[in-house]
Amino acid sequence: MTLSLLLSSILLLPADTAILKTHDIDEVVVVSTGRQGAKRSIKGQVASIDEHLAELDHVNLIRRGSYAWEPVVNNMATERISTTIDGMKIFFACTDKMDPVTSYVESGNLQSISLNSGLNGNPQSTGNIGGSLDLKLRKVGFQPLSFEGEKNSIFHTNVSAGHEFNGHLQVYGADASYSSYGFYSNFGVFFRKAENYKTGGGEELNFSQFQKVNAFANLGVRLAERDILEGTIIFDRATDVGYPALNMDVAKAQGLITSLSFKHNFQESFLTSWETKAYYNHIIHVMDDTKRPDVEIHMDMPGDSWTTGLYSLLTGSNGTHDASLNYDLYYNRSFADMTMYPGGAAPMYMVTWPDVGTLNSGLALSDVISFPHNQSLNVSAKFAFQQQKLNNEEGYNALKVFFPGMKQDYYQTTGRVALSYAWRPEHWKLTFGTGWGSRAPTVTEAYGYYLNNTFDQYDYIGNPRLKNESAVEVNASAKWTKGRFSIGADANAFFFKNYIIGTFESRLSPMTVDAEGVKVYANVKSAKIVNVSLSSQWQALKWLKWSGRASYAIGRDAEDDNLPLISPFSYTSSLDFTHGDFSAQATVQGYAAQTDFGAKYGETRTPAYAILNLSASYNIHASKSLISIRAGVENLLDKSYTTYSDWNGIPQKGRNIYVNVNWGF
Amino acid sequence: MKKLYYSLIFAAATLGFASCSSNDGDDIDLSGTGITITDDSECCSAEEALLVYKFILTVKHVPELSFEVDGKYKVNAYTKTGSFHTGYNDIYFIASKKSTDNYVKNFDVKNLTPIMNMVKMGTYHSTPVSSGVSTVEDLPDAIKHGWVSFVMNSGEKGTWAISYDAEVLSSTGSIKDQTITVNALPEGQEWIKSFKIGEQVYFISLVNPTSWKTGTNNIKAYVSRKNLESLTTPWGVASEEFTVEAVPTMPDMGNHTSPDNTSWTKQSDGSYSGVLNLTMTGLWRIHLTVKDKDGNVVAGGDDLSDGYSSLYLDVTI
């Protein structure tokens, strides 16, 4: 019964959200679709991508400033997760991880963000040990034929504006769409600007400002009744971005994302659809230290990342099977260099990413098999082969100093396979899953050159001789629902082999003045990461809901020492009041002290904290238009605090009052 | 159509013959070089002449050190830039017959002697010089090579002059005290340094610092000994066998250094060679510790406040 309800509710959804029927997928909706029960940020559509990401279970964010937070899934950061935009591969261009790829889109571009926890990744993901994020673009889609068979068309316009008093953050967005049976287009612009914010207690945090503009357009043409051609273009540019946790800021972080896809929907066949998409994206990242006082040596550190690729996804279902087959191919080039200008003397130049060309192709298969008595089994597997070439001779020669005899070409094969079983007896939902997967070293891990990590104050050198890292995952969850109350627990554990992490090399001398030393990436024999969480909801009254969640994680290396950036015990508890078009929320959010910090990896203790947030929203319906007004206060008590994931312990925002309006007509 | 096909085959075949027969020298094109090939056995074959001609295109003429011998021969001198700089300079000599402009197959250059006139002090001294002028491996015998490593540049303190003798076939001639200009190296470049062992003074000269790049470099150097008995006699390569330990650091980067550098050891040709790893471009200070045959530190190797030898060379790449 539950399953069929679930399935029927899915059939009502747009096609690109149908993936929800698979297991272990968490999703945050960026733009309201009128769907009930879906997660969304309390700040609504104008919330930043980072704030939307924070809504997802299993996700934490590493903050180096107030912009471009790095998503962490199951306590694994960029290296161990996959991030795709509508299935497109995209790679960041900053050697210091100042630009996770999620920073190159805006809320206005997206319909939703979905997360597949662990090894059961989306078809296009590779190297997703911790999980895979897919940012789903907001394509307005075609208008269906009316019951009378008439072709209608719809115009829709949406404008939004927001202001946050702490840091004087301004957000403005406008987009418009036209949708008919044979054609659709939606396009818009987004602007965001913030000054330095004040930490708890009222102190201004220098270099926490940023500014960003974003423009996008989507286009769809129905070539034939069941043949669809779709194109997307996104241009995103952030300028004057401060990074208070680092020694440098960013002058420009620019992304151009384009795609063209062809989709055929089958009828009266066990095949559902076949979509082939070709894409290209280019990211330019330029760091800037000219605004910092007391810079010992001025440096230029630009980075570039180009990716072009395609995927072809065939889906089908026959009642018991719900299967997909995906082939994907991409080519990425990552180049970064650094020029240092000592006063008067000759500039010093080095290539920090030696123009690494990566050609990767993979074949992925997934099937959800339904069994009687509300049971189902999800099987997914992917095999990928990749070739890498170091195109920059100077960078190659430099790295060869440390790895004599290294080659200019490398080959890797990676794969993953995951199984998940779900059973839904009355009142219960039980799942059990397991999987194995491997990932190739990242460009930084394999070929990075003297990349200073301000977290532990070491210079990092990549290691072209690294082996693939692999992990076995086991996960389980149980949820019990009765009436208006539900309680659930879920846990996953990852057991790594050849875990890749920097290890200290005493014989090497650091390049960065004041650095502690040099670390070279190495495979440590094993490591483990375990995540557990408990959550509960209680719809106490029609207008009052309580929900709570607590999580805990441990991460240990082969010597049983703590891994860095593993979340300490954390909890949230919120009360939701709803009355018609009015809703309000009070949330307490806190972390225990980080006592299991990775001292070996330069991490230090962070104290416990708890903050209180309040928010309210009101919807006004007028003829054909909807106005949503949201207001709230974060950190009501103006606590001064820092979390384990605040890079170098930069303090979080103090009390922040916000208000935003969204008007759709 | 078929005809064209056959003629293509024919053309290809003749081309093949042409390239096979090029060793005979008949097909070597010297037009435009001004060189006339005759049966003169004292001069280069067409093939050798072309090699020499091509070599000359890679260097620059030094008119001050070029002259005529007996009205029959020209002796020309060349350096990489057509001028001289402080530190090690390669000098090439090539003799040709005036009548044909072809290069003389074999000739000798002797007594290459640079002298500095210390104008203000009224004294004269020489500088490190190669042990003789000789042929170079992989180049025709018509090209002679020697080197001079100038301890300082021309300037107010003093001027440089060079003398040498040439024996071309049965004729002899010489250049006497021809004034040349030795340019100073740019800032951040010190390619020659002296060190003392007891009373003796030695000079270490880097041969190939301009070819150093980011990455692993095979370096070449000479150690020469000052001629204390006669300062104006060219200072030859030191007969002692040293081992030179080199630690490259970047003074602008908190003395950042590189791993796996090897000691410079003496080769059969009298030069020193070793491996130097440079991790980026910029100013590299090569700190030297000189050890004798028994491994005793004889020069450098003292720890300054920064922990590195005070005997050093600077190379900016």
Span A132-190, pLDDT tens digits: 999 999 999 999 888 888 888 999 999 999 999 999 999 999 999 999 999 999 999 99
A95-143 per-position pLDDT tens digit? 999 999 999 999 999 999 999 999 999 999 999 999 999 999 999 999 9
At B238-256, the pLDDT tens digits run 999 999 999 999 999 889 9
> Does A405 lie at the interface with B, CB-CB under 8 angstroms?
no
Counting DSSP H helices and E strands in chain A, the numbers are 4, 32
Q: Do B282 and A514 touch (CB under 8 A)?
A: no
Sorting pLDDT into bands at 50, 70 and 90, what band is A35? low
Residue B218 has pLDDT above 60, yes or no: yes
The residue type of A447 is: Y
Are B253 and A511 within 8 A, CB to CB? yes
Whole-number pLDDT of residue A624: 86
Q: Which residues contact B173 (CB under 8 A, 6 or more apart)?
A: B67, B68, B69, B70, B73, B75, B165, B166
Residues A21, A368: Cα–Cα separation, whole Å: 9
Which pLDDT does position A344 carry in this prediction?
A: 81
Collect all residues of chain B within an 8 Å Cβ-Cβ radius of residue A392: none
**Average pLDDT, stretch A591-609?**
94
Q: Which residue has the higher pLDDT, A402 or A8?
A: A402
Question: Of the given ranges (A615-629, B27-41, B45-59), which has the lowest mean pLDDT?
Answer: B27-41
Tell me the whole-structure pTM to 2 decimals. Answer: 0.90
Contacts of B214 in chain A (CB under 8 A): 349-351, 394, 397-398
Q: Which two tokens stand for residue A599?
A: 């001292």
Task: For A351, name the nearest residue in chain B, comparing CA atoms only.
Answer: B280
**Of chain A residues 424-483, which have a CB less than 8 A from chain B?**
450
For B261-277, what is the mean pLDDT? 97
**By the 8 A CB rule, do A382 and A416 touch?**
yes
B267-295 burial code (b ≥16 CB/10 A, e <16): eeeebbbbbbbbbbbbbbbbbbbbbeeee
**Residues in CB range of B54: below 8 A, 6 or more apart:** none
| Averaged pLDDT for residues A78-106 | 97
A587, A610 contact by CB (below 8 A): no
Write down the pLDDT at residue A51: 96
| pLDDT of A13 strictly over 70 | no
Q: Would you say residue A88 has pLDDT above 80?
A: yes
Q: What percent of chain A has pLDDT over 90?
A: 90
Q: Does residue A388 surpass a pLDDT of 90?
A: yes
**pLDDT above 80: residue B132:** yes
Q: Which two tokens stand for residue A554?
A: 């441990």
Average pLDDT over residues B167-177: 94
Q: A346 and B279 in contact by Cβ < 8 A?
A: no
Q: For residue B35, give the DSSP letter.
A: -
Confidence check: pLDDT of B16 > 60: no
Give the C-alpha separation, A135 to A119, whole Å: 18
Up-side HSE of residue A89: CA atoms within 13 Å toward CB?
A: 27
Determine the pLDDT at residue A16: 37
* Stretch among A39-43, A337-341, A481-485 having the lowest mean pLDDT: A39-43
| Rounded Cα gap, residues B134 and B68, in angstroms | 20
Predicted complex ipTM: 0.88
* Among candidates B187, B255, B280 on the partner chain, residue whose Cβ is nearest the Cβ of A398: B280
Tell whether A202 lies on the interface with B, counting CB pairs under 8 A. no
Angstrom distance (rounded) from CA B172 to CA B70: 8
A409 CA: distance to closest CA in chain B (Å):
18
- For A397, the closest of B215, B253, B316 (CB atoms) is B215
| Cα B107-B112-B117 angle, rounded to 5 deg | 155
- Residue-wise pLDDT tens digits, B173-214: 999 999 999 999 999 999 999 999 999 999 999 999 999 999
How far apart CA B275 and CA B262 sit, in angstroms, is: 5
Contact B258 A509 (CB under 8 A): yes
Test A397 with B216 for CB contact under 8 angstroms: yes
Distance from CA of A340 to the nearest CA of B (A): 9
Work out the average pLDDT over A358-375. Answer: 96
